[in-house]
């Protein structure tokens, strides 16, 4: 990955000022010296909207807002998160991102170098996904009314397959796979906030999912449903898909890949690794006969990918390591460490 050289010689304001969002010369400076060099068209001329070439076939469209504290964490930052998150949402319907929008909501007083780093990280992430940032907006809110940076991105994606991918396509007997081990992002963020009470070398799993999904599609596999395992983790995704499909699932605890560091951190704090957030993992439903081939493909991208269970019955169950079934609980929002 090539590092993005900051096009703006250090100088000008050291922090974000309210005027950077005011539409005057400070706004112009920010756009001309930071955003256009990072994302702008070759001729540097901006207009009110981007005009995209017409695409044959259906398009996918999604949007997401990104708030994360701290802005930079082991394995990524809010900038890469804002690109991969939206690209991944498109990937979950089998679409390839062709254009992104970028809205930055900045807090007055944000150190300018932090903004530069985040913009550089957005640029690198977008390059990695082969998607241009074609339009955007910047606003500044008063100090104390934001958390440094909030980002909204929207994405348009091209759909090159004829499959209907979603909960309604799930069938009884389908196999369920995860694209890698779970819970790294959630634990890494807790550690970065110093809320774990101990240190860990763990990095977020933040990653683009477009490539593994395109590999699955290129292999001609009959993908029934995919969901990226962000907030709420695997537990929420299985409940949502199960409810959407009107079917139950049974997953085996022993088969679900969880890194020992994640398991240990969750065990100590009373958190559920299956409800922890991920930013580079997805769950896949497809016919059992194709599960092995899908697993081989997924393991080329992430060796910890695994087949974890199947669609059956009418409730969401976990078979634990003792061979006993219990209800898989839906996470309930903010996970709070327990007392003892």
CB of 68 to another protein, least distance (A): 17
Nearest in space to 253 (alpha carbons), one of 328, 197, 174:
328
How is residue 20 annotated by DSSP?
A: G
The correct pick among 3, 173, 260, 288 for binding another protein (CB under 8 A) is: 260
Q: Output phi, psi for 207, to 5 deg.
A: -165, 155
Distances (CA, A) of 246 to 167, 184, 240, 249: 9, 30, 10, 10
Nearer to another protein, 240 or 329 (CB): 329
Name residues contacting another protein, limited to 181-220 (CB under 8 A).
195-197
**Residue 337 sits in the site that holds another protein (CB under 8 A):** yes
DSSP string, 146-186: S-SEEEEEEEEEEE-S----SGGG--TT-EEEESS-S-HHH
The correct pick among 261, 295, 299, 304 for binding another protein (CB under 8 A) is: 261
Nearer to another protein, 51 or 339 (CB): 339
End-to-end CA distance of the chain: give it in Å, rounded: 44
- Integer Cα distance of 189 and 278 in angstroms: 10
- Integer Cα distance of 149 and 152 in angstroms: 10
**Residue 70 sits in the site that holds another protein (CB under 8 A):** no
Name residues contacting another protein, limited to 290-319 (CB under 8 A).
315, 317
Residue 76: left if φ>0, alpha if ψ -120 to 50, beta else—which one? Answer: left
**Residue 69 sits in the site that holds another protein (CB under 8 A):** no
Segment (H or E) for 307: strand 306-311
**Residue 321 sits in the site that holds another protein (CB under 8 A):** yes
CB of 139 to another protein, least distance (A): 24
Name residues contacting another protein, limited to 71-90 (CB under 8 A).
none
**Residue 15 sits in the site that holds another protein (CB under 8 A):** no
CB of 194 to another protein, least distance (A): 9
**Residue 63 sits in the site that holds another protein (CB under 8 A):** no
**In the complex, which residues of this chain contact another protein (CB under 8 A)?**
195-197, 260-261, 263-264, 267, 269-270, 315, 317, 320-327, 329, 332, 336-340
């Amino acid at each position: 990955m090539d590092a993005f050289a900051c096009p703006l010689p250090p100088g000008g304001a050291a922090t974000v000022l309210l005027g950077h969002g005011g539409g005057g010369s400070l706004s112009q400076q920010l756009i001309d010296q930071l955003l256009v060099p990072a994302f702008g068209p070759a001729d540097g001329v901006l207009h009110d909207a981007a005009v995209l070439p017409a695409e044959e076939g259906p398009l996918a469209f999604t949007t997401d807002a990104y708030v994360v504290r701290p802005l930079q964490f082991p394995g990524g930052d809010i900038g890469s998160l804002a690109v991969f998150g939206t690209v991944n949402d498109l990937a979950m319907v089998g679409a390839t991102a062709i254009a992104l929008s970028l809205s930055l909501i900045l807090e007055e007083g944000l150190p300018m170098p932090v903004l530069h780093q985040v913009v550089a990280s957005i640029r690198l992430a977008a390059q990695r996904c082969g998607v241009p940032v074609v339009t955007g907006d910047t606003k500044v809110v008063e100090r104390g009314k934001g958390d440094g940076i909030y980002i909204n991105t929207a994405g348009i994606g091209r759909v090159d397959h004829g499959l209907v991918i979603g909960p309604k396509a799930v069938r009884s007997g389908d196999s369920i796979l995860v694209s890698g081990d779970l819970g790294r992002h959630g634990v890494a963020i807790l550690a970065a906030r110093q809320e774990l009470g101990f240190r860990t070398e763990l990095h977020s799993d933040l990653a683009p999912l477009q490539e593994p999904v395109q590999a699955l599609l290129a292999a001609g596999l009959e993908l029934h449903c995919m969901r990226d395992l962000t907030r709420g983790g695997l537990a929420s995704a299985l409940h949502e898909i199960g409810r959407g499909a009107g079917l139950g699932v049974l997953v085996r605890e022993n088969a679900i890949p969880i890194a020992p560091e994640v398991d240990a951190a969750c065990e100590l704090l009373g958190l559920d690794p299956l409800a922890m957030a991920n930013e580079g993992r997805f769950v896949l439903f497809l016919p059992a006969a194709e599960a092995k081939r899908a697993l081989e493909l997924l393991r080329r991208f992430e060796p910890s990918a695994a087949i974890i269970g199947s669609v059956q019955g009418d409730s969401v169950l976990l078979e634990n390591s003792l061979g006993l079934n219990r209800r898989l609980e839906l996470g309930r929002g903010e996970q709070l460490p327990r007392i003892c």
